[in-house]
Chain A
């Protein structure tokens, strides 16, 4: 049963700490998306990759957020330093370019105190 996995599932951290969230896309998928869900903003795209190359990261605060794909089986989203306003659920989704369906992971709930 192929699925997107994300770790950690929940993370509580102190303001100023570095946070790293990891995503394993479905094997064979070549497009990876990072979305953030908050009560105020809803679901919004932060960044996405195709064939490991960043295509669009315009939704991401550049000064503290970074997204990478070290290899085809791993995508990472880092926040350094973290702030309370970063508290949200972060979803990773993967898909095949040319197909319209995106498969979502279970999300990482981040709480920054």
Chain B
């Protein structure tokens, strides 16, 4: 079974600064995907970024980037130039590469961006 752990229940950052959210996971699989989802107060789950485990290069999406350390089973999210609209709950999630598999989520980190 896979597990995902987010050890930071809450974090805060000043607008325009950089913040890093941590995530670790446990799996015996070799092929898998990792995701960061954002859930603002509207409760809509929004995909922020994804990483394929077979790719060594870290994924980036505009101000969002990840630090994927496969051997350490670590997958952190860096948000640069934080904006007020980044205030949300952030979930790290895991999916095996098997056909049509489920998402396993971490507990979430509530990020608040302060003006």
* Chain A residues in the interface with B (C-beta under 8 A): 31, 33, 35, 42-45, 48, 50, 55-56, 89, 91, 93, 95, 97-98, 100-102, 104, 106-107, 109
Whether the pair A33, B99 counts as a contact (CB closer than 8 A) is no
* Nearest CB in chain B: distance from A30 CB, A: 8
Looking at chain A's contact residues, the main secondary structure is: strand
Q: Report chain A residues within 8 Å CB of B104.
A: 45
Given A42-B108, A100-B33, A100-B95, the answer on whether A33 and B44 have CB atoms closer than 8 Å is no
Closest Cβ neighbor of B93 among chain A residues: A43
* Chain B residues in the interface with A (C-beta under 8 A): 33, 42-47, 50, 52, 91, 95, 97, 99-100, 102-108
Whether the pair A42, B100 counts as a contact (CB closer than 8 A) is no
Say which residue of B33, B46, B102, B105 sits within 8 Å of A48 (CB atoms). Answer: B102
Closest Cβ neighbor of B99 among chain A residues: A97
Say which residue of A56, A91, A100 sits within 8 Å of B45 (CB atoms). Answer: A91
Interface centre among B45, B50, B100, B108 (most CB of A within 10 A): B100
Q: Report chain B residues within 8 Å CB of A102.
A: 103
Say which residue of B33, B43, B97, B102 sits within 8 Å of A33 (CB atoms). Answer: B102
Query: For the complex, what is the distance from the CA of A104 to the CA of B95, rounded to whole Å?
Result: 15
Q: Report chain A residues within 8 Å CB of B50.
A: 100-101
Interface centre among B95, B102, B106 (most CB of A within 10 A): B102
Closest Cβ neighbor of A35 among chain B residues: B103
Q: Report chain B residues within 8 Å CB of A93.
A: 45, 103
* Nearest CB in chain B: distance from A8 CB, A: 14
Q: Report chain A residues within 8 Å CB of B99.
A: 97-98
Say which residue of A44, A55, A107 sits within 8 Å of B100 (CB atoms). Answer: A55
The 9 closest A-B pairs by CB, nearest first: A104-B45, A43-B105, A97-B100, A100-B33, A45-B102, A31-B100, A107-B43, A42-B107, A50-B100
Q: Report chain A residues within 8 Å CB of B52.
A: 100
Say which residue of B43, B47, B106 sits within 8 Å of A101 (CB atoms). Answer: B47
